[in-house]
Structure 1
Amino acid sequence: MKNMLKRNYKVLVLLLLLAFASCSFTTKTFSDPDKDKLLIQVITFVLQQGHFDPIAMDDRFSEELFSDYIEGLDPAKRYFYESDYKDFEKFRTSIDDQLKVSDITFFNITHERLMQRIAEAKEVYKEVLSKPFDYSKDEIFDTDTDKTEFVKNKKEMKERWRQQLKFSALSYYDDIYTEEKQKKEKDASYTMKTETQIEQEARDATLKSIEVYFNDNLEDLKREDWFAMYVDAIVGEFDPHTYYLAPKSKEDFDERMQGKIEGIGAQLQKRMDNIKIIGLISGGPAWRSKELDVEDIILKVKQEDEEYPVDIVGMRINDAIKYIKGPKDTKVTLTIKKLDGTIKDVTLVRDVIELGETYAKASVVKKDGKKFGIIDLPSFYVDFEDYKKINAAADVKREIENLKAEGIEGLILDLRDNGGGSLPTVVDMAGLFIKDGPIVQVRSTGEPKEVLKDRDKSITWDGPLVILVNELSASASEIMAAAMQDYKRAIIIGSKQTYGKGTVQNVLNLNNLVRNNASGDLGALALTTQKYYRISGGSVQLEGVKSDVKVPDKFSFIEVGEKDKSNALPWDEIDAADYTTWDNYFDYEQTISKSNERMSKNPQLKLIEENAKWVKSKIDETVFPLSYAKYKETLALRDDESKRFDAMTNYQTNLTFESPAYEKELFNNDTTNLKEKRDRWHVSLSQDVYVEEALNVLEDLKTSFNIKKIAKVKE
């Protein structure tokens, strides 16, 4: 598999180079003004020749790019006027024609106008924040920008800024007012600040925050940064996983693929105007806090030596990370908006995150005198330079051997929140549970399918197996779950379906495609080049893997999967591979039926489902009061409503978790707080209803195995 992927990548680069050989620009020396045009030439050619399913760059493409790009430039509609939009609309159906001749007129016009409007906006927000806000006035603010039109004049623009800034200042006002009340409650002699003073401080904090955004971020952006956003918008039209890496972004990408990460241990992504948490690194400060979750939005960031936080809404992801990251042992306070709309401050102590903490870890589970094992796999990681040095398959195999030495009777492989990783490790890992055979099918455009097989006839674990998944289990996780499901080798417990990412990407260094390039670093392009399919023939694209035992979770009713992307590649299927289901005595159908019956009666899962529906209803709420009294009423109402879900966090199983013997020995010379990290993990597992049910399923599989084996012997 590894060699196949390398070969495909090299073939792709070679074909592109050969195609470029006849292009005049490959031998021409370009001056800086031509760099943008060169980049357009390169990326448009690569997209058409190298993408798995290239789309026609026609008028329809132009219209979609136009809408997405303008929305990306001004998502809150606080810069452009209706007249600007009408000026831009002249290009709605002609951007494709410009790209074909490397014309960047559309970018130039929108960029120049944006720079003008940003400069004007600085004067507007200063004027708005120079006057007090009236928090007794009964008015509302709608955060749904899809329902918002571009303003017609300066008066309307000022009013839009006033509402947005008042909404932002309102949270500062509440923080200061609440802190003053707490001081008064602790010390009756304390003289509280007046409402006028509090209102002034809230405006000052809002002004400082927005000036940091404008002065330290927007003004730091050079024309080439804005052009990189334009290029990313172009390539992003092809599918959600094709994206442009500007030179600096490529450096950051390379750094993330190796060494250490210093900060809070959270993976972030910008979605529209928001910075969202899309993953927590096990053992990191964010994970240890138990206060942060995937899909949380980070609104503000406050350093320990700063009086007020910085608002990062609307900020570029790289700029936001600058505030969130920091030296080891320093404190940072994040203002978080939870899925249900509640807002809370979380203070974390930054740390050095060793990549080893993102690797597989195992625990022995004791239930009713029996021992089982659970392996948590955050990703399908690999050392791309030396596969034998570090890869998830080898680590999982080692953990299985350690668990077998403990005498386990069943195994859980936890792939929840596992976003994928290296395909070669999937093939090797799946091979740990079957004798041999196909694992996944891969297809490139215009090429015959390639069936990737496990050729190692040895089996590391032949006992009962359960795989846990959720909506965030993606890519390589889906290959693993799908293969085990098709072989009837494991029972999949989790969400209605997994993420639904059935595509493979290669990162192309664009500089390798242009000879004698004197224009400067062109960056790189992450390009969707292949699609993978289950051995049964169907793709996991869009549809994901359907769980055998479907259970609700907090993501059940919100949009987090591939199916919710507007430009995702379609689902399709190819011929099935030649494979034989697992030859065993396990009664999968009866076990699944019993599990579904248990889950339908489980009060904890019913509560989780009710909470998921409530969270969705809060996400759909976009209208907020701007009067302080009603703002507090809204917060109090949400707090009261959320109290009925407190029991979710108090859930406790009768399971006992402990580290394998080899790991206990490491505790004796522990210099990385390994025991503390494992203890926290074990506490979390002991409160996990999904793990509890996985153990029940393992017991049922074991029982069905014994019954069927005895019946077979009697025959």
Structure 2
Amino acid sequence: MKKSFLILMLTVIVSVASCSFTTKVEDGPDKDKLLIDLISYVLGKGHYDAKDINDDFSKEVFSDYVDALDPLKRYFYQIDIEEFRKFEKLIDDEIRNKEITFFNLTYTRLQERMTEARSLYKEILDTPFNFQKDEKISTDYDKLPYAKNKKEMKDRWRKQLKFNALSSYYDKVEEQLDSVSVNKDYKRKTSVILEEEAREITRGSLKEYFEFADDLERKDWFTIYINSIVEEFDPHTYYFAPQDKDRFDIAMSGKLEGIGARLQKKNDNVKIIEIISGGPAWRGNKVEVGDLIMKVKQEDEQEAVSVVGMRLDDAVSLIKGPKGTKVSLTVKKVDGTTEVVEIVRDVVELEETYAKSSVVKKDDKAFGIVNLPKFYFNMQDYNQRNAAKDVKQEIVRLKEQDIDGLVIDLRNNGGGSLQTVVDIAGLFIEKGPIVQVRTKGEAPEVLSDKDRNILWDGPLVILVNELSASASEILAAAMQDYKRAIIIGSKQTYGKGTVQNVMDLNRWMRSNDFGDLGALKLTTQKFYRVNGGSTQLEGVKSDVVVPDRYSYIDIGEKDQENPLPWDKIPAADYSVWDGYIDFDQTITNSKARMAQNDQLKLIEENAKWVRQKRDINVYSLQFDKYKANIELNQKQAERFDAIEDYKTNLSFESLPYERELMKKDSILEEKRERWHETLSKDVYVEEAISVLEDMKINNIRRSKNPLTLKN
């Protein structure tokens, strides 16, 4: 795969150079035009299934872009849309001609309409709402027409704000009733006062919303325009503005360099909302959740810079920095005092990104479970911490606890590095193909595990759901094709069978006078199972299907816009693993248990009910009817309370190395306790352990060595 991608990169780079992409100011195009020109060219040359940029393409971009700008139809009027529609079939021409007239028009108009909306919502919220008036609101915004005039627009805003306030009003009425029931001397507020308080809550929410909108700059809106173009190619091709690329890198590696605190914009202030365990801020113990950062000073600067009123992204950029550098923060403490705190920046690891494991106890037996949130890796250096290394280490530690079986939990794992999948799969089989990858116009390339060592040759179960995607599907599919593991979970996984590469746009420029151009995540390949089938659209079908809360919700690849089609290629040369004695019988036993499981029947009923409620999009704005509807929903939902009350007969223990860490890290201890509590109520984990108990291993193939070598 690396060779194929290198050829692709070289081809595109040479093509870009030959087409004279340059950022010299005297040549004319500004940064926006340059980005449009460069990205459209790279898409045409590098995308796995490049589309023709024509009138039909233009119409799709137009629809998606306008919808992205105003999804609730609370800004644009019908007359605006009619004016915009002149460009409906011209966007393709603008792309070719390096023009952005359409974007300029929509951006300018949106800013005007948002300014009008600011005045509108304040005017509406100055007048009390009549919660006795019998009227309704529809939240099916796709079918909602654009307002024809200011009267319609004001009424649309009024209903939306009334809907928001009605929710707060209902909560306040219920809170007051609860207070009266426990304290007969409680001084009740009138409905007038409660309505006024509800309006003020809504006013505060809108104020925060528009403060966030004020932080958005022209370049942020232009990013929306670019992505309306690139996402027409497929759902996973995406343009990253520079700061978005930084976030993507952090998400994929689970690491950042900074102080180790999560920040939030609150009323023009930068507020600390979480201290990351193990980070510099946590170790220094001089800042805490709730503190406000007022100023930031770098170690090589004389003056501190005020971050009050600054865009959050810009403030974060000042606070972050390379490992070993110092930053001084002027902090307004929770108690109201002001203090200057000096912090030495360091590499911060986001613990929730990484694999974690636990010993599962059932009767007199021990099993292991490894939860893998994503297939993480460092995009600059694969040899640094990655998912494969961590999973391997966790399994080694679990083996030291003499476990009888292993569960790999890939639920909600959206994927990540392809190489980590190959490395992880190799922990469970002797050498052989794991996945096939095809670049358009080339023969498929087989990515194989070439190491004959097997780390774990015991019973193996993999848990998946509808949100297990991409790399998760590769691992589940490979283990299923080899009959190495039993897959338990949703009817099918997400269905993402494509490979993306992140391309730094700056590397293709001979000169650059406009600063960082960002990056393009581009679909360049498709992957296939070793049996030749694609997971694209179809996903991986579980050996044992169990219902969950997503069972009746459309969230898979097939439900996205512009997915690539399903296809298949010849199978790779592989041999089914012969370590199990009763593989098929174990699946049959599990299916029988699941069919009789009352908890799963209740979960399926709940999933159907949730789908039914999601389809409702008309709500009453009259208090009594609103209240009656909520009470009906609450009564219907009561029968599903037993889902949360469910308790397995399993117990969970952290590994010895984590118990040592917990002596110094109470946050880690709290996180693990919450995880174990969730697992103890998890019917899917319960069944996975039952399956492991049923699976019979050919003992000739077993070894007690840390690494098992098959002859």
Aligned to 1:138: 134
Q: Distance in 1 between matches of 2:477 and 2:334?
A: 43
Aligned to 2:271: none
Aligned to 2:447: 452
The verdict on how the C-alpha distance between 1:353 and 1:148 changes in structure 2, with shifts beyond 3 A counting, is farther
Aligned to 1:614: 609
The verdict on how the C-alpha distance between 1:389 and 1:195 changes in structure 2, with shifts beyond 3 A counting, is same
TM-score by length of 2: 0.84
Q: Which amino acid aligns with 1:222?
A: E
Query: What is the CA-CA distance between 1:178 and the residue it aligns to?
Result: 3.4
**SS of the residue 2:18 aligns to:** coil
Which residue of 80, 96, 103 corresponds with 1:100?
A: 96
Higher mean displacement: 44-53 or 686-695: 686-695
Aligned to 1:531: 526
Contact 1:54 1:238 in 2 (8 A): yes
Higher mean displacement: 426-435 or 409-418: 409-418
Q: Distance in 2 between matches of 1:674 and 1:130?
A: 47
TM-score by length of 1: 0.83
Q: Which amino acid aligns with 1:701?
A: M
Contact 1:372 1:411 in 2 (8 A): yes
Query: What is the CA-CA distance between 1:460 and the residue it aligns to?
Result: 1.0
**SS of the residue 1:541 aligns to:** coil
- What is the root-mean-square deviation in Å for CA atoms of aligned residues? 3.3
Q: Distance in 1 between matches of 2:689 and 2:263?
A: 30
1:494-537 Cα offsets, whole Å, 9 max, x none, are 00011111111111121222222213332211111111110111
The verdict on how the C-alpha distance between 1:58 and 1:159 changes in structure 2, with shifts beyond 3 A counting, is same
The verdict on how the C-alpha distance between 1:512 and 1:127 changes in structure 2, with shifts beyond 3 A counting, is same
Contact 2:357 2:394 in 1 (8 A): yes
Does 2:385 correspond to 1:390? yes
Query: What is the CA-CA distance between 1:183 and the residue it aligns to?
Result: 4.2
Contact 1:263 1:328 in 2 (8 A): no
Aligned to 1:361: 356
Does 2:679 correspond to 1:685? yes
**SS of the residue 2:537 aligns to:** coil
The verdict on how the C-alpha distance between 1:444 and 1:411 changes in structure 2, with shifts beyond 3 A counting, is same
Contact 1:283 1:677 in 2 (8 A): no
Unaligned runs of 5+ in 1: 267-280, 285-301, 306-315, 332-351, 710-715
Q: Which amino acid aligns with 1:694?
A: A
Which residue of 247, 253, 259 corresponds with 2:256?
A: 259
Q: Distance in 2 between matches of 1:30 and 1:144?
A: 49
Query: What is the CA-CA distance between 1:264 and the residue it aligns to?
Result: 7.7
Query: What is the CA-CA distance between 1:400 and the residue it aligns to?
Result: 2.0
Does 2:76 correspond to 1:76? no
Query: What is the CA-CA distance between 1:691 and the residue it aligns to?
Result: 1.1
The verdict on how the C-alpha distance between 1:528 and 1:116 changes in structure 2, with shifts beyond 3 A counting, is same
Query: What is the CA-CA distance between 1:449 and the residue it aligns to?
Result: 1.4
Q: Distance in 1 between matches of 2:685 and 2:243?
A: 42
Does 2:152 correspond to 1:153? no
Contact 1:421 1:476 in 2 (8 A): yes
Aligned to 1:670: 664
Aligned to 2:241: 246
Which residue of 549, 572, 576 corresponds with 1:577?
A: 572
Does 2:340 correspond to 1:373? no
Contact 1:497 1:545 in 2 (8 A): yes
Q: Distance in 1 between matches of 2:572 and 2:436?
A: 8
**How do residues 631-646 of structure 1 correspond to structure 2 at under 5 angstroms?**
631-646=626-641
Higher mean displacement: 527-536 or 118-127: 118-127
Matched-pair identity in %: 57
**SS of the residue 2:197 aligns to:** helix
Aligned to 2:201: 205
Does 2:693 correspond to 1:694? no
The verdict on how the C-alpha distance between 1:575 and 1:433 changes in structure 2, with shifts beyond 3 A counting, is same
Aligned to 1:438: 433
Q: Distance in 1 between matches of 2:290 and 2:394?
A: 40
Contact 1:136 1:628 in 2 (8 A): yes
Query: What is the CA-CA distance between 1:586 and the residue it aligns to?
Result: 2.5
Query: What is the CA-CA distance between 1:670 and the residue it aligns to?
Result: 3.2
Q: Which amino acid aligns with 1:685?
A: L
Q: Distance in 1 between matches of 2:581 and 2:333?
A: 51
Q: Distance in 2 between matches of 1:111 and 1:125?
A: 21
Q: Which amino acid aligns with 2:256?
A: G
Contact 1:13 1:513 in 2 (8 A): no
Q: Which amino acid aligns with 1:621?
A: I
Aligned to 1:493: 488
Q: Distance in 2 between matches of 1:368 and 1:599?
A: 21
Q: Which amino acid aligns with 1:252?
A: R
Q: Which amino acid aligns with 1:375?
A: V
Query: What is the CA-CA distance between 1:265 and the residue it aligns to?
Result: 12
Does 2:647 correspond to 1:652? yes
Q: Distance in 1 between matches of 2:312 and 2:487?
A: 35
Higher mean displacement: 488-497 or 653-662: 653-662
Query: What is the CA-CA distance between 1:553 and the residue it aligns to?
Result: 0.5
Query: What is the CA-CA distance between 1:662 and the residue it aligns to?
Result: 4.2
Aligned to 1:36: 32
Q: Distance in 2 between matches of 1:614 and 1:318?
A: 40
Query: What is the CA-CA distance between 1:212 and the residue it aligns to?
Result: 2.9
Q: Distance in 1 between matches of 2:542 and 2:276?
A: 25
Aligned to 1:112: 108
Q: Which amino acid aligns with 1:464?
A: P
Query: What is the CA-CA distance between 1:191 and the residue it aligns to?
Result: 2.8
Which residue of 599, 602, 607 corresponds with 1:604?
A: 599
Aligned to 1:63: 59
The verdict on how the C-alpha distance between 1:562 and 1:598 changes in structure 2, with shifts beyond 3 A counting, is same
1:72-93 Cα offsets, whole Å, 9 max, x none, are 1111111111122122222212
The verdict on how the C-alpha distance between 1:154 and 1:70 changes in structure 2, with shifts beyond 3 A counting, is same
Q: Distance in 1 between matches of 2:618 and 2:637?
A: 19
Q: Distance in 1 between matches of 2:26 and 2:174?
A: 60
Contact 1:504 1:532 in 2 (8 A): yes
Q: Distance in 2 between matches of 1:47 and 1:143?
A: 36
1:188-220 Cα offsets, whole Å, 9 max, x none, are 334322222222222233223213322x23233
Contact 2:290 2:333 in 1 (8 A): no
Q: Distance in 2 between matches of 1:329 and 1:462?
A: 54
The verdict on how the C-alpha distance between 1:58 and 1:426 changes in structure 2, with shifts beyond 3 A counting, is same
Q: Which amino acid aligns with 1:259?
A: L
Q: Distance in 1 between matches of 2:594 and 2:437?
A: 36
1:666-692 Cα offsets, whole Å, 9 max, x none, are 44x433544443333222222111111
Aligned to 2:509: 514
**SS of the residue 2:359 aligns to:** strand
Does 2:83 correspond to 1:87? yes
The verdict on how the C-alpha distance between 1:252 and 1:378 changes in structure 2, with shifts beyond 3 A counting, is closer
Aligned length: 639
Query: What is the CA-CA distance between 1:241 and the residue it aligns to?
Result: 0.9
Unaligned runs of 5+ in 2: 265-274, 279-288, 293-310, 318-328, 336-346, 703-711
Aligned to 1:467: 462
Query: What is the CA-CA distance between 1:70 and the residue it aligns to?
Result: 0.8
**SS of the residue 1:259 aligns to:** strand
The verdict on how the C-alpha distance between 1:162 and 1:361 changes in structure 2, with shifts beyond 3 A counting, is same
Does 2:171 correspond to 1:175? yes
The verdict on how the C-alpha distance between 1:318 and 1:517 changes in structure 2, with shifts beyond 3 A counting, is closer
Query: What is the CA-CA distance between 1:29 and the residue it aligns to?
Result: 2.9
Query: What is the CA-CA distance between 1:150 and the residue it aligns to?
Result: 0.9
Q: Distance in 1 between matches of 2:128 and 2:28?
A: 48
Query: What is the CA-CA distance between 1:157 and the residue it aligns to?
Result: 1.2
**SS of the residue 1:219 aligns to:** helix
Q: Which amino acid aligns with 1:151?
A: A
Contact 2:436 2:445 in 1 (8 A): yes
1:394-421 Cα offsets, whole Å, 9 max, x none, are 2222222222222222211111111111
Does 2:566 correspond to 1:588? no
Which residue of 417, 420, 428 corresponds with 1:422?
A: 417
Q: Distance in 2 between matches of 1:99 and 1:196?
A: 56
1:592-620 Cα offsets, whole Å, 9 max, x none, are 11111110111010000000001111111
